[in-house]
A and B are shown apart, each in its own frame.
Chain A
Amino acid sequence: MLTTAGLLFWGLLVGLDLISVPQVMISRPLVAGVGAGLLTGDPVAGFAVGVILELFALDVLPVGAVRYPEYGPATVVAVAAAAHTPIAGGVGVGVALGLGIAYLGEWSIVATRRLTSHHVQRAEAELDAGSRGALSRVHLGGIARDAVRALSVTSLGLLLAWGVRTWTPVAGRTAILLTAAMTGVALATATMGALRLRERRRAISWFATGLGISLVWVALR
């Protein structure tokens, strides 16, 4: 019960961090994952889930009003589903669930922004007249709506994680295959995301330089 409450609170914090407050990046999967791992008593599973979802998140460029999956609460849910299972056997199921929740998070962000737009339109005259009360009400209301959103996404996700742990949809070799598939897709996603960061030819040369250094390091270890 205490663990669930802790995960809900952590999901709320990382959900708020992405957009509303304070944007210090506790919403990054690597941070959210280890945090959730500590709460569930399995920091290694938290790190493993965090690494895979962090690789997915490297593909996101949150410029302007672009839509993108929300990985903070999704990582918390994924760790809840994967904790205390063998890494190769349980992480894939957790990550797959996390990806679904990330899309749910994306949809919920758009819905929340539309709702805030509605409140802005209703208070338009007051806002344009310089009403401090209207400004505080609409702005702080936006943060409160985002908090409710983050808590709702995390709650639903934790319910699904509980279902996944109870009725194990995949096990044995299939579960290992799923983890392998998630790892492969995550690595490819991060590579494609990195190559999109800068103009194509230069990006490839800088990326290849780092890749070369690392491959030599890995080979020599």
Chain B
Amino acid sequence: MSVVPLILSGARLFAVQGSWNYDRLLGLGIGYAAEPLLRDLPGGRNGQRYREALGRAVAPFNAHPYLAGFAVGAVARIEHEDQSEDLARFRIALRGPLGSVGDRLVWTGTLPIASALGLMVGVLGPTWLGPIVLLVVHNVAHLWLRLWGLLAGWRLGRDLIRALRAPGLMVALRFAGPAALVLLGMALPLAASWMLAEFDLAGQVAVAAVFAVTFVIGRWFAPVLRGPLLGLLITAAVLVGARL
């Protein structure tokens, strides 16, 4: 196979969640991204094999979007090897690992790391540099996961689980979370000091008081009351207070 279908498939992975829905979840996105890799099945685009493979590819599926490439590559490889008899079971088996690895690595790892670094750099240096640092740090991991996932899935097919046990990935999974927590711990006081510089003493006391009250309520008394909702409730209180 030429490299063009892989490039097309890789590009389509960036829109893998474009049709996310409550019926098939990520299924249609997986099918859309896998479609270029299925075009050279025997019979071509109008052939029976292609249509059957595409029909199977759009079945319900879910995964972390950055790791969806693993599934796209593997599903296409299995169709090429004509071993699709238990593809549905294979897809079900993939959902858990591709979801949990992505959540641990990205949502609780690289994204908070990038966010914390962006906040720190923006506060300590020129403000415009903060967003650039966030984007660069996050997307190094993001692009690597998309590319590596697709190529590993396409290369390994059913043996995909070997890629998910790669030593580098294990190390990243182990250290991403703690690194995110340390960096967030570093970023929050810096962000706070940057914001506090805008207030007089009374304003700074107000920030500290609201922080303490919100933290106690949100952490121990009413965890269901999330920050944004508390923010809106406080806004309503301030507006009513101002009218009175």
A interface residues, Cβ below 8 angstroms from B:
19-26, 28, 30-31, 33-35, 38, 43-44, 47-48, 50-52, 54-59, 61-65, 69, 87-88, 95-96, 99-100, 102-103, 113-114, 116-117, 119-121, 127-132, 135-136, 138-143, 146, 169-170, 174, 176-195, 197-198, 202-203, 206-215, 217-218
Contact = CB atoms under 8 A, between A and B. Distances in A.
Contacts of B232: 96, 99-100, 103
B223 to A, nearest CB: 8
Interface stretch (B82-90, B152-160, B205-213): B205-213
Interface in B179-202: 180-196, 198-199
A100 B231 CA distance: 10
A182 B231 contact: yes
Given A99-B228, A130-B52, 10 more contacts: A47-B122, A58-B112, A140-B18, A178-B235, A180-B199, A180-B207, A184-B208, A186-B227, A210-B182, A214-B187
Contacts of A19: 17-18, 20
B242 interface: yes
A185 B17 CA distance: 32
A181 to B, nearest CB: 5
Contacts of B50: 130
B178 interface: yes
Contacts of A121: 23
Contacts of B32: 135-136, 139
The winner among B119, B212, B238, B242 for most chain A CB atoms within 10 A is B238
Q: Considering residues B14, B22, B118, B188, which has the most beta carbons from chain A within 10 angstroms of its beta carbon?
A: B188
A65 to B, nearest CB: 7
